Structure 1
Amino acid sequence: MPTILGQNQYGKAENRVVKITRDGDTHHIKDLNVSVALSGDMEEVHYSGSNANVLPTDTTKNTVYAFAKEYGIESAEQFGIHLARHFVTSQEPIHRARIRIEEYAWERIATSDGNSKFIGADEVKHSFVRQGQETRTTEITYDGTSWQVISGLKDLVVMNSTNSEFWGYVKDKYTTLKEAYDRILATQVAAQWRYNWTSDEERMPNWEKSYAQARKHMLQAFAETYSLSLQQTLYQMGSRIINSRSEIDEIRFSLPNKHHFLVDLEPFGLKNDNEVYFAADRPYGLIEATVLRDGVEPRIPVDMTNL
């Protein structure tokens, strides 16, 4: 049967680049995992094997490292914008570039007395520890005319040890779950938010501030919501970000419910007054939803969130 070529792209995935900025004795780290995907006039390489329009993936890798030196890494978003613009504007066959970036955060190692430096020494200025398992993410897409920037985070584990209930749900003959009026609520947040910036570079958001503020509002909403369901908490987290950050129009969450079940201590003659729990890693409830600014159409792909 005759066939035709459908959607396609190519590039170099997971280029690990670490940029050290030395400000005298004080160093700053940007640690990124950068994936490049390019598309355009690529029919012939698939049909006949002609590489006439193909920029080697090795070249895209080299570009990532060269740009880290040439432009520095002010933020994951800004770095991705530099790369996407370069590939689309420098290579005529390339019509669209997608740059996906994960950023791994580092923090300075504190001294035992809590000060910012050792006695008469400068080691702390270039000593760091990775911050937990949380990873910052961004995806930049450029088609030569407009931009789409979707940023977020994954593996952010949060917990409320009280102020959470779950009751009044549908019950049938297979329901065994007991209603809870004081429970642990914990989840591992994966979130992506879409910026409404598309072209005017003079109005480009401050990416570092925007990320920090979105994360702050997300955590504050989680902590401050008296939750009757994880869905309610999700909506409050998204609403807080949308209402607080005018540059963000849409946010998608994937929240696995990290269940904590009270352990039955009665066989041991002990009363468990909401003190001892069994943390179950699977199976888990998975709550997913998108929160949008009113009047905005959803554009974040459903399959972007990968736990």
Structure 2
Amino acid sequence: MSESVLTSARYGKDLIRVFRVVRDGEFHQVVEYNVRVLLEGDIETSYLVADNSVVVTTDAIKNITYYLAKISPHILSPERFALHLGTHIVSKYAHIHRAFITVEKLRWSRIALSANDHPHPHSFVRDGNDRQTVEVEVDASAGKDKLSAKVTSGLTDLLVLKSGGSAFYGFVRDEYTTLQEVDDRILSTSVDLTYTFAPLSLSSPTDDKKLDFTVPEGFALGDVWDAANVATRVRNATLDIFALDASASVQATLFKMGQRVIAENAGVESVTYELPNKHYIPVDMKYIGVDNTTPANAEVFVPVSAPSGLISATISRK
């Protein structure tokens, strides 16, 4: 037992499900989040000597999250809400030095009425399974009046497919190679991406309850790289390049996506993509005299989920 030492400790609450309605008369805005809050600080004694006096209960963490979801003017932005939540926690508890907030935002889009194509003021549809992700670290280890933050946002499970405009040839051929070269193929992937903002300095709350929050430069509504605008541009860039690029490979298309994200978003320092191949294999019908395998005639495919290629890269600002 004497040979063991506690080298790190972190705890908190996971899978806090939050749905918030923001009402302006009959016009509503909604967000649905899955939230994780993890804390670090002077909490070692709870592990080492069973001293619970340093434990902010995970139940309290859940309740703080719901209370901030009720009162925070930043609830509609996952980045700003996560920063507000983390800032409140590290400011309120003297012995908590870091808060790690993860927010997953589910898609809800306003229903456009078929009669006039006008968006309905308070009716929504889940129009996709992709989700926005946010990871925020609020750091008070340099002092409660010297808060800093790291913000990484992203997108996950964005399923895309195009039935042409993609080739793959010129790769290494040796005794292990069975893949045939093609100048036209189905290209499909489930996009996972993350992008990291430049480090932020935060203002410490000045009120007694530590609920005040000043949005850092760049994340306020209307700022050039307001996080909501960045999320829209990143998604649009990804879809545009995927659709329009005459793809020589997933690698080449991925790099073009990252280039555009960096070019269009001054506050983003780097972007990382993970693109698994979703394979569609043409069905061999030669046994009945039907050509369904040459690219020009391939029309019936079998979706194959595994194994799959996985292509990943990070593109950073110079």
Fold match (TM-score > 0.5): yes
Q: Deviations along 1:252-298, whole A, 9 cap, x unmatched?
A: 1111001112222333333331322221111100111111112xxxx
Unaligned runs of 5+ in 1: 118-123, 295-307
Q: Which position in structure 2 is the counterpart of 1:25?
A: 26
Q: Which position in structure 1 is the counterpart of 2:166?
A: 164
Q: Which position in structure 2 is the counterpart of 1:247?
A: 267
Contact 1:137 1:152 (8 Å CA) reproduced: yes
Of 272, 285, 291, the residue aligned with 2:309 is: 285
Paired amino acid for 1:263: V
Distance in 2 (alpha carbons) for counterparts of 1:29 and 1:233: 34
Distance in 1 (alpha carbons) for counterparts of 2:57 and 2:51: 13
The count of residues paired between Structure 1 and Structure 2 equals: 288
Percent identity between the two aligned chains: 39
Q: Give, in angstroms, the shift of residue 225 of structure 1.
A: 1.7
Distance in 1 (alpha carbons) for counterparts of 2:238 and 2:176: 35
Query: Is residue 276 of structure 2 the alignment partner of residue 256 of structure 1?
Result: yes
Question: Once structures 1 and 2 are overlaid, which stretch shifts more, 61-70 or 255-264?
Answer: 255-264
Query: Is residue 287 of structure 2 the alignment partner of residue 267 of structure 1?
Result: yes
Q: Pick closer, same or farther for the CA change 1:27–1:203 going to 2, 3 Å.
A: closer
Paired amino acid for 1:281: S
Q: Summarize the alignment of residues 198-209 of structure 1 with structure 2, pairs less than 5 Å apart.
A: 198-199=200-201, 201-204=216-219, 205-209=225-229
Question: Once structures 1 and 2 are overlaid, which stretch shifts more, 21-30 or 91-100?
Answer: 21-30
Q: Which position in structure 2 is the counterpart of 1:299?
A: none
Q: Which position in structure 2 is the counterpart of 1:193?
A: 195
Contact 1:16 1:34 (8 Å CA) reproduced: yes
Distance in 1 (alpha carbons) for counterparts of 2:116 and 2:188: 30
Q: Secondary structure at the match of 1:199?
A: strand
Q: Give, in angstroms, the shift of residue 241 of structure 1.
A: 0.1
Of 238, 242, 252, the residue aligned with 1:232 is: 252
Q: Which position in structure 2 is the counterpart of 1:69?
A: 70
Q: Which position in structure 1 is the counterpart of 2:118?
A: 116
Q: Deviations along 1:164-208, whole A, 9 cap, x unmatched?
A: 111111122232111111011110001110001411623434121
Distance in 1 (alpha carbons) for counterparts of 2:247 and 2:183: 10
Distance in 2 (alpha carbons) for counterparts of 1:153 and 1:115: 28
Contact 1:197 1:247 (8 Å CA) reproduced: no
Query: Is residue 137 of structure 2 the alignment partner of residue 141 of structure 1?
Result: yes
Q: Give, in angstroms, the shift of residue 51 of structure 1.
A: 1.4
Q: Give, in angstroms, the shift of residue 115 of structure 1.
A: 2.8
Q: Secondary structure at the match of 2:188?
A: strand
Q: Which position in structure 1 is the counterpart of 2:232?
A: 212
Q: Secondary structure at the match of 2:130?
A: strand
Distance in 2 (alpha carbons) for counterparts of 1:219 and 1:96: 36
Q: Give, in angstroms, the shift of residue 114 of structure 1.
A: 4.7
Q: Deviations along 1:52-94, whole A, 9 cap, x unmatched?
A: 2211110110011101111141300010000110111110110
Q: Which position in structure 2 is the counterpart of 1:55?
A: 56
Contact 2:30 2:76 (8 Å CA) reproduced: no
Distance in 2 (alpha carbons) for counterparts of 1:181 and 1:32: 42
Q: Deviations along 1:204-254, whole A, 9 cap, x unmatched?
A: 341211111111112212222211111111111111101111110111111
Q: Secondary structure at the match of 1:105?
A: coil
Paired amino acid for 1:283: P
Contact 1:99 1:141 (8 Å CA) reproduced: yes
Q: Give, in angstroms, the shift of residue 125 of structure 1.
A: 2.7
Q: Secondary structure at the match of 1:127?
A: strand
Unaligned runs of 5+ in 2: 141-146, 203-215, 220-224
Q: Which position in structure 2 is the counterpart of 1:298?
A: none
Distance in 1 (alpha carbons) for counterparts of 2:116 and 2:185: 35
Distance in 2 (alpha carbons) for counterparts of 1:293 and 1:50: 46
Query: Is residue 263 of structure 2 the alignment partner of residue 221 of structure 1?
Result: no
Paired amino acid for 2:303: A
Q: Summarize the alignment of residues 124-135 of structure 1 with structure 2, pairs less than 5 Å apart.
A: 124-135=120-131
